[in-house]
Amino acid sequence: MKEHLTRHLKYMVVLLAGSALAGTLLLTLVFCLPTGMIKEHVAESVDRVLRREESYPQNAFLRHIWRDKESYTDAIMVQYAFEKVEGKNAFEHAMWAYHYDLEEEIWAAEDSLRAVLAGKEPSQMHLREYSRYWHGYLLYLKPLLLIFSWEQLVWLGVGLQLALMAAVAVVSVRRKCPGVIVAMAAGLLFMKPELMVVSLTMSVCSVITLVAVLILLLKGDWLRERQYYPEFFLCIGILTAYFDFLTYPIVTLGFPLCVYFLMTESEKISEITQRIVGYSFCWGVGYAGMWASKWVIADITLHTGTIRDAVWNVIGRTEAIGGRPRMNGGLYVISLNFQEYGSTVYAVLAAVLGIVTVGMLLWALCRKLPIKTLAVRIVPFLVIGVIPFAWIVVVQHHSALHARFTFRILGVTAMALGCVCVQVIRFFLTVQPSHS
């Protein structure tokens, strides 16, 4: 046991350090790309993208999507893709993440983007930096914007995510795990996928999650045989910290955990708890470690003061909201995230999911199925379903400020409940009722 732990620790240290160095090198290289064509391709469709629903007057569904999609952060991302500050080299751009803004105190992302594209002089704007994040999305955003317009890139993202969803469905059927499809559908339903897939910002965690699930389905046995699951979840955390703009990161942990336990049978509650805690810890080490490595590299090389800035921001983003006690504030922020669903349709769907889940469990009781054995199969999902609420309580200030992003983590709870229903059905089909 000690030898395995030592091996995992060595691998994790190597993976984390290697990822930080590779991430720095790749970002520096991508900032060497010319920005003129990128700027032209962004300008080509900026009006169409930022006008949103006005761009599709004849199509009600597309108007709905473009009206509610997240364009504020998308505007920041595409501006980073072509921003070029005079006198700053590629490494400085990679570490500092510069961009010009019209306002000094608050960010005016969309208006600033329009102003820069219209040729407003940098001397009339404020130079900002955002060195706390890796902005790893620029690895693909900058090269792709050399070829495609902003709007075309959005639709390419839609196609990629739909293709990944289809691949997950096909592989789930081939692996005789159709329950994965049902459970993921329940989870995605509560993430407003029609808005998620058309957003550059929101699609990052979506793609990471779908790829992780696909790897689990295709290589789960190999990961188990080689005992690489700790490193697998560590890598998910690393990729999330590197590419995501702090939107709904915990989904990249919750969805793969659900799929893992749908594919893995355990006999002891203690073993289940150990795996959930262990894999979540590995994900957290990858996420926090990769994120913090940016602060260290930026501070050591350019004396950016990023560590101090980042630490104070972490403290601020995790503090209780509005001076409330932590649990009281957590409940308030949870309610704010629920409000992001808006339509009563979601309330009805949530009620249906809850009723079906409870009904399934009562059905198992009435059928006199071995409850202790069934409990082992559903406990992991009950625990995973609580993770989003724990996340909101811990980082409640951020979850309140950016509820329009973070509410999507509740999709993990929906998927977990879907997994409970799947497990009850599977258990009923494989286990004979007790007649004692």
- Indicate whether 217 and 314 sit together in one domain: yes
Rounded CA-CA distance 247/37 in Å is 29
- Indicate whether 42 and 170 sit together in one domain: no
Rounded CA-CA distance 68/270 in Å is 44
Average of pLDDT values for 74-94? 94
Rounded CA-CA distance 87/31 in Å is 14
Q: Is 436 contained in some domain?
A: no
Rounded CA-CA distance 241/118 in Å is 33
- Indicate whether 135 and 160 sit together in one domain: no
Provide the β-strand partners of residue 209. Answer: none
Q: How far apart are the first and last CA of the chain?
A: 41
- Indicate whether 66 and 46 sit together in one domain: yes
Q: Whole-prediction pTM value?
A: 0.92
Q: Which of 139, 170, 191 is the last residue of a domain?
A: 139
Query: How many residues would you count in the chain?
Result: 436
Query: Are 90 and 31 a contacting pair, CB within 8 Å?
Result: yes
The encoded tokens of residue 272 equal: 């289940």
Please give, one letter per residue, the 3-state secondary structure of the chain.
CHHHHHHHHHHHHHHHHHHHHHHHHHHHHHCCCCCHHHHHHHHHHHHHHHHHHHHCCCCHHHHHHHHHCCCHHHHHHHHHHHCCCCCCCHHHHHHHCEEEECCCCCCCHHHHHHHHHCCCCHHHCEEEECCCCCCCCHHHHHHHHCCCCHHHHHHHHHHHHHHHHHHHHHHHHHCCCCHHHHHHHHHHHCCCHHHHCCCCCCHHHHHHHHHHHHHHHHHHHHHHHHCCHHHHHHHHHHHHHHHCCCCCCCHHHHHHHHHHHHHCCCCCHHHHHHHHHHHHHHHHHHHHHHHHHHHHHHHHHHCCCHHHHHHHHHHHHHCCHHHCCHHHHHHHHHHHHHHCCCCHHHHHHHHHHHHHHHHHHHHHHHCCCCHHHHHHHHHHHHHHHHHHHHHHHHCHHHHHHCHHHHHHHHHHHHHHHHHHHHHHHHHHHHCCCCCC
- Indicate whether 82 and 179 sit together in one domain: no
Which pLDDT band holds residue 77 (cuts at 50, 70, 90)? very high
Q: Is 207 contained in some domain?
A: yes
Strand-strand pairing, 126-129 and 98-101: antiparallel
- Indicate whether 234 and 366 sit together in one domain: yes
pLDDT(325) > 80: no
Q: Which of 20-29, 99-108, 343-352 has the highest mean pLDDT?
A: 20-29
Per-residue pLDDT tens over the stretch 213-258: 999 999 999 999 999 999 999 999 999 999 998 899 999 999 999 9
- Indicate whether 197 and 312 sit together in one domain: yes
Q: Is 133 contained in some domain?
A: yes
- Indicate whether 241 and 323 sit together in one domain: yes
- Indicate whether 19 and 167 sit together in one domain: no
Provide the β-strand partners of residue 99. Answer: 128
Q: Is 145 contained in some domain?
A: no
Q: Is 35 contained in some domain?
A: yes
- Indicate whether 348 and 288 sit together in one domain: yes
Q: Is 328 contained in some domain?
A: yes
pLDDT(322) > 70: no
Q: Which of 115, 139, 163 is the last residue of a domain?
A: 139
Average of pLDDT values for 110-127? 91
Q: Which of 118, 139, 160 is the last residue of a domain?
A: 139
Rounded CA-CA distance 361/245 in Å is 39
Q: Is 122 contained in some domain?
A: yes
Structural domain boundaries, residue 11: 2-139
pLDDT of residue 321: 72
Q: Is 190 contained in some domain?
A: yes
pLDDT of residue 362: 86
- Indicate whether 76 and 128 sit together in one domain: yes
Per-residue pLDDT tens over the stretch 270-315: 889 899 999 999 999 999 999 999 999 999 999 888 888 878 777 7
Comparing 46-55, 132-141, 265-274, 356-365, the range with the smallest average pLDDT is 46-55
- Indicate whether 55 and 161 sit together in one domain: no
Q: Quick one: how far is CA 87 from the chain centroid? A: 35
Comparing 9-23, 153-167, 311-325, 395-409, the range with the smallest average pLDDT is 311-325
Q: Which of 231-245, 337-351, 365-379 has the highest mean pLDDT?
A: 231-245
pLDDT of residue 436: 44
pLDDT(99) > 50: yes
Report the domain count for the chain. Answer: 2
Q: What is the dihedral of CA 258, 175, 196, 389, to 10 degrees?
A: -10
